Amino acid sequence: MTTTRFQSQNQTGALTDAPKVHVVTFGCQMNKYDSMLAEGRFIAKGYSTTASMDEADVVLFNTCSVRDHAEERTYSWLGEIKREKERRPGLVIGVMGCMAQRVEEEVFRRAGHVDLVVGTREFQRLPELVAEVRERRLDPNLSGKHERRILATDGAVEVEVDRSDETWTGGSHAFLAVMRGCDLSCTYCIVPATRGRVKSRPIESLVQEARWLVEQGVQVITLLGQTVNSYGEDFPAPADGEEQFRGRQGRPSLADLLHELQQVEGLARIRLITLHPAYVTRELAEAIRDCGKVDRFLPLPAQAGSDPILKAMKRGYTLDLYRRRIELLRSIVPDIELGSDWIVGFPGESEEDFAGSEAFLEEIGFVVNYIFKYDPRPTTRSAESLSDDIPEEVKKERNRRLLDLSARVGLRRTSSYVGREVQAFLESRSDRREGTLLGRTIHGLPVSVAAGDEWLGRLSTVLIKEATAFGMSGELRG
């Protein structure tokens, strides 16, 4: 959970007594980006943002549905804020994001003090919807609580982004969603239901936002998508005579976007989250090789190391196919580092299947791993057709074993850099150690280095001295 980084300031930076909005964000980076977009819309309408829930006039929860725990946490926060609403009836409470899209008016049933439920596509209308809530409260003809509430969960609305009237206060790193939604149908996953079909944003509009971010002081941009490397697959094929791109049938692809962003002056680093093996192409690998600003790190979730489980998950690849994609990538970018997500305790996962996940993690040498215990999500194929038959203790045990292995493999990967000079982008000061800067190597790995502030925001050379499972430290070499 993160709260937002905007200050209680208006667009010119002055302190104001404008209405204040506070956003609480759960879930993935896409939600963080959407919270920023929502805040930007409020700021453009004369609001300020506040880090304090107590002084907010509008409190929004940007929610996640990927596991039950994420939804329950939201309800527990909503329970907390109920007392605040009793004390301050003027407070407007909104729920946005994936859970809002998934359960719609169910939120009102479980949390009667919520005024607004806004899905994953309509959140940029929030300031208008909040105004509408306020108007309805004053309308003597609307006596019932339910008549004053607003539900805005149209899944067909296109999310268009124009931030030119915003002032960026988010620091040197920014997220940028290049596509939304997912056209795959992994049997365990709720995301296609909450985020809908794939919709890629046009290249020009993305480059424009990237330029705007850079003008506002951003140096590092992380490109987001549920399957970010399927970017552009939903664009129509160009007609004869139209500009042809590298992507399939001449459509723009992630490779084209990377080449465009590589040209943006002042942009120092480009990162990617999250890729799917099915869309790993030669063009993409070549773009990573040729675009020096792109980190040589790819989160490319394998999810499992057993063909029968991958099939039951409907991931769309076998281990062999995954291996072949990695061979292709490594033949073009030999030093690429990889990360993965894993689900343990998927229905029917035998000890042998699980041992396959351990072996595959080891074999590929994933340096960063996120491990999740299988959670049957309502309406998903696996929840409806397979019994959640792996006991919780076994899931926990497998989770722990994979985490331990991940730490060992991570350390093996980071140790391989000890004694070598690496390129690293230094991004922030360490809170814990004075005179130390933190950054990431061009292989996406956290690094700390003793250096003065003049090195902030610079690509530098670091001699790696020490490694842990989660990062490295070294000496500045220039």
Report d(CA 194, CA 97) in Å as an integer.
Answer: 8
**Segment near ligand SF4 (CB under 6 A), from 14-22, 105-113, 179-187, 380-388?**
179-187
Residues that bind ligand F3S (CB under 6 A): 27-28, 30-31, 64-66, 97-98, 190-191, 194-195
DSSP conformation class of 454: G
Residue list 197-236, contact with ligand SAH (CB under 6 A):
226-227
- Backbone torsions φ then ψ of 185, nearest 5 degrees: -145, 60
Stretch that binds ligand SF4, among 75-83, 140-148, 187-195, 456-464 (CB under 6 A): 187-195
Question: What distance, in Å, lies between the first and last C-alpha atoms of the chain?
Answer: 37
65 binds, among ligand SAH, ligand F3S, ligand SF4, none (CB under 5 to 8 A by kind): ligand F3S
Binding flag, residue 192, ligand SF4 (CB under 6 A): yes
**473 touches which of ligand SAH, ligand F3S, ligand SF4, none (CB within 5 to 8 A by kind)?**
none
Q: What tokens were used for 115?
A: 């005024």
The site partner of 192 among ligand SAH, ligand F3S, ligand SF4, none (C-beta below 5 to 8 Å per kind) is: ligand SF4
102 binds ligand SAH (CB under 6 A): no
**Judged by CB, which is closer to ligand F3S: 47, or 372?**
372
Contact between 276 and ligand SF4 per CB under 6 A: yes
Helix (H) or strand (E) holding 146: helix 145-148
CB of 159 to ligand SAH, least distance (A): 17
Nearest distance from C-beta of residue 86 to ligand F3S, angstroms:
29
Tell which positions 207-236 bind ligand SF4, by CB under 6 A: 226-227
Q: Which of 59, 189, 203, 214 binds ligand SAH (CB under 6 A)?
A: 189
In the list 142, 151, 161, 184, the residue contacting ligand SF4 (rule: CB under 6 A) is: 184
Element (DSSP H or E) covering residue 192: helix 191-195
Burial classification of residue 204, based on how many CB atoms lie within 10 Å of its CB (0-12 exposed, 13-18 middle, 19 or more buried): exposed
Q: Determine the 3-state secondary structure of 405 from DSSP.
A: helix
- String marking each residue 370-409 x if it binds ligand SAH according to CB under 6 A: --x-xx-x--------------------------------
124: how many CB neighbours lie within 10 A of its CB?
18
Output 18 or 343, the one with its CB closest to ligand SAH. Answer: 343
Task: By CB under 6 A, tell whether 376 contacts ligand SF4.
Answer: no
333 binds, among ligand SAH, ligand F3S, ligand SF4, none (CB under 5 to 8 A by kind): none
- DSSP label at 330? H
**Two structure tokens written together for 216:** 């506002």
Q: Which residues are within 8 A (CB) of 114 and not within 5 positions of it... i.e. 6 or more apart?
A: 78, 93, 94, 95, 107, 108, 149
C-alpha–C-alpha distance, residues 215 and 141, integer Å: 49
CB atoms closer than 10 angstroms to residue 53: 16
Q: Does 276 bind ligand SAH (CB under 6 A)?
A: yes
191 binds ligand SAH (CB under 6 A): yes
CB atoms < 10 A from the CB of 420, how many?
10
Helices (H) and strands (E) in the chain, counts: 15, 20
The phi, psi pair for 366, rounded to 5°, reads: -65, 125
Burial class (CB in 10 A: 0-12, 13-18, 19+), 448: buried
Tell me the three state secondary structure of residue 42. helix
Q: Which residues bind ligand SAH (CB under 6 A)?
A: 66-67, 188-189, 191, 226-227, 274, 276, 301, 303, 341, 343, 372, 374-375, 377
Q: Which residues bind ligand SF4 (CB under 6 A)?
A: 182, 184-186, 189, 191-192, 226-227, 276
